[in-house]
Structure 1
């Protein structure tokens, strides 16, 4: 008996008869427990699906960061914070640098360099400036004197 028929009967009390199951009018949802494994496609049969590698669904297959990128981002964020950036700005900049690394851009920031001392470059003579100059801290550039800070060496 369907709901419309029950409303038409105007029964006041609960029905003592067991309700009849409703029948689907079309092929609807099939639960994972009822469908054979072949219906899920090649993913279930893919050995990588069952792999224990935590980075199996990360870059370059998706936009998600892999473990190495996460470690490097944390190291950069801590370095930038130690060098005077606000924490949220440091994290934002470190996140931008993840994309720079993925695009294989060879420009670097003075903020990542071991030669940065305060706001001055201690290797400006090697870099070609000839004297101790104020570093362009947030400007990506190709510097011949660039040397990654020790924190970044340890995380990669």
Structure 2
């Protein structure tokens, strides 16, 4: 989750979730909470949906329904900076260089991930240890995918 903070230059009324625009297929935003008592700062929690990978995301506020203490409505809209979402789990393809091995032969097993990963080790690999051994893992390239 991420905390989204909305900071106005002066005290406002009429600010609600209906003034906030974002792609709801990628995440949800909690109810707004006033931060302090001056009516200038509000926050909400953004929770990305599972299995999403998106590099282009913003949260936009329409100012038309937001009023200052004198009753002046805001105009236009303001957008957050861009943020990325990655809630997809790692996916891997496993290939072996030789599908028919005899005693004394070896084969190269290649693990190719969809994206860069960390923490992958031989302890994550399951195979029948009574039928062979697996050597140390060696990274192929520098992108952390193979």
Task: Specify the structure having the higher radius of gyration (Cα).
Answer: 1
Normalized against structure 1, the TM-score is what?
0.16
Normalized against structure 2, the TM-score is what?
0.17
